[in-house]
Amino acid sequence: MHYWQNPYIKWQKDAPENWDVYIFQTRTSRNKALTCAIFEALSLFSPCQPIPILTGPLADKKGSYRLSIPSDFRTEVKQLAPHFGYTEAVHRLGPLDEPSEINADSEIAEFDRIRWRKKTYTLRPVYIEPQNFMRHRAPDKRHFRLLKPNGEVTSVLGYRGDGQELSRRGLPAEDARLMLNLARPFNHGPIIDPFAGVGGILYEAADNKWPIFSGDIDPKLRYGLGDLCQNRHTVQDSVALPYADGAFTAVVSELPFDPHFLDKRAAQLAQELTRIVPSNGKIVLMTGADQIEMMKKRFADLNISPIFASPVNRKGTDVHICVWQKI
């Protein structure tokens, strides 16, 4: 399926008259997950009335896409752009006489002047991700406090799980940021990651000062996870969460990829995650490729259909990302 055929994105051919046109560039490692990048941008910029458009400059450039946004929201776009997960550069199409500040490190710097519809424009930089920004946020660069079998608590650099089937390998920062953005807008309400693992989603949420809770069934992770969420962590079973109905604006989590994890618990899990979010609350899950249909079916049993779903073509385990919104 081509990215423009995804049924969850409603495309328009052209930008509305007098609206700004923005050109986005996905990071190379996620070029094949363009649909996810586009839906992330629509969620991130949802307060700005974004419209995805099929035509426009650089339409043939790999990993690029375009949104049109009313010009009144230029300040908001600039403030929100640094929060991206899958997109690394944002440019606005500007008139030729507008000053340009193209960063020489940008992949599209050579297109600082372009022709479109018989006119010459400049690509005005809105945001260009600093070099090695994501590398410095990678799991192997972080310290994590871990409870050892002898009861001692130790700090480990780059902890990525213990190698067992239900353990995390460390969620990349770009995936964690994407998933949090897909939960927007959450109006500063609390979020929960009930399968927190080594805390990739918590790390990105805390960095943005978003209130987040965490849970994990593994007690040895409780100190490291507590550090990342201001001690709002519980050792818990995901099918019996110790929270009130509608307690969280959103659930954002990566399921354990063990093929038997959902055996006899998928229905309970869907019910419990639905219970703890209010009406219009979102549930954003990354699942293994062999888990997604089971979870879709269990949420469908609760009359909840996904508002977005897509495979993520990346190195390593084949995964899907899906977003449900409670009615």
Of 22-31, 115-124, 187-196, the range with the highest mean pLDDT is 22-31
CA distances in angstroms from 89 to 138, 245, 281, listed in the order given: 19, 39, 29
Q: What is the pLDDT of residue 219?
A: 94
**Rounded to two decimals, what is the model's pTM?**
0.91
Q: What is the CATH number of the domain that holds 177?
A: 3.40.50.150
Residue 42 has pLDDT above 80, yes or no: yes
Q: Are residues 311 and 223 in the same domain?
A: yes
Name the pLDDT band for 165 (thresholds 50, 70, 90). Answer: very low
Q: For 25, how many CA atoms within 13 A lie in the half-sphere containing its CB?
A: 23
Residue 79 has pLDDT above 90, yes or no: yes
Average pLDDT, integer, range 186-198 = 88
Q: What is the pLDDT of residue 158?
A: 83
Q: What is the pLDDT of residue 116?
A: 81
Q: What is the pLDDT of residue 258?
A: 87
Name the more confident of 8 and 209.
8
Name the more confident of 327 and 40.
40
Q: Are residues 141 and 79 in the same domain?
A: no
3-state helix/strand/coil string of 65-107: EEEEECHHHHHHHHHHHHHCCCEEEEEEEEECCCCCCCCCCCC
Q: Final residue of a domain: which of 78, 106, 128?
A: 128
Q: What is the pLDDT of residue 106?
A: 47
Q: Final residue of a domain: which of 104, 128, 152?
A: 128
Q: Are residues 258 and 160 in the same domain?
A: yes
Give the domain range for residue 91.
3-128
Name the pLDDT band for 166 (thresholds 50, 70, 90). Answer: very low
Average pLDDT, integer, range 19-37 = 94
Q: Are residues 124 and 156 in the same domain?
A: no
Residue 273 has pLDDT above 80, yes or no: yes
pLDDT more than 90, % of the chain: 71
Helix (H) or strand (E) holding 23: strand 20-26
Q: Are residues 184 and 122 in the same domain?
A: no
Q: Are residues 230 and 195 in the same domain?
A: yes
CA distances in angstroms from 225 to 133, 151, 153, 197, listed in the order given: 23, 17, 13, 8
Q: How many domains does the chain have?
A: 2
Average pLDDT, integer, range 242-252 = 96
First vs last C-alpha separation in the chain: 28
Q: Are residues 194 and 116 in the same domain?
A: no
3-state helix/strand/coil string of 28-66: HHHHHHHHHHHHHHHHHCHHHCCEEECCCCCCCCCCEEE
Name the more confident of 318 and 23.
23
Q: Are residues 118 and 157 in the same domain?
A: no
Instruction: List pLDDT tens digits, range 98-129.
Output: 655 545 444 444 447 888 878 888 889 999 99
Name the pLDDT band for 38 (thresholds 50, 70, 90). Answer: very high
Q: Are residues 148 and 283 in the same domain?
A: yes
Residue 182 has pLDDT above 60, yes or no: yes
Q: Are residues 124 and 145 in the same domain?
A: no
Q: Are 326 and 280 in contact (CB under 8 A)?
A: yes
Residue 36 has pLDDT above 70, yes or no: yes
Q: Which residues pair with 193 in a beta bridge?
A: 214
Q: What is the pLDDT of residue 215?
A: 95
Of 56-60, 188-192, 276-280, the range with the highest mean pLDDT is 276-280
Q: What is the pLDDT of residue 317?
A: 77
Q: Among 156, 152, 150, 106, which residue's Cα sits nearest to residue 131? A: 106
Mean pLDDT across the chain: 89
Q: Final residue of a domain: which of 100, 128, 156?
A: 128
Residue 141 has pLDDT above 70, yes or no: yes
Q: Are residues 265 and 177 in the same domain?
A: yes
Q: Are residues 284 and 172 in the same domain?
A: yes
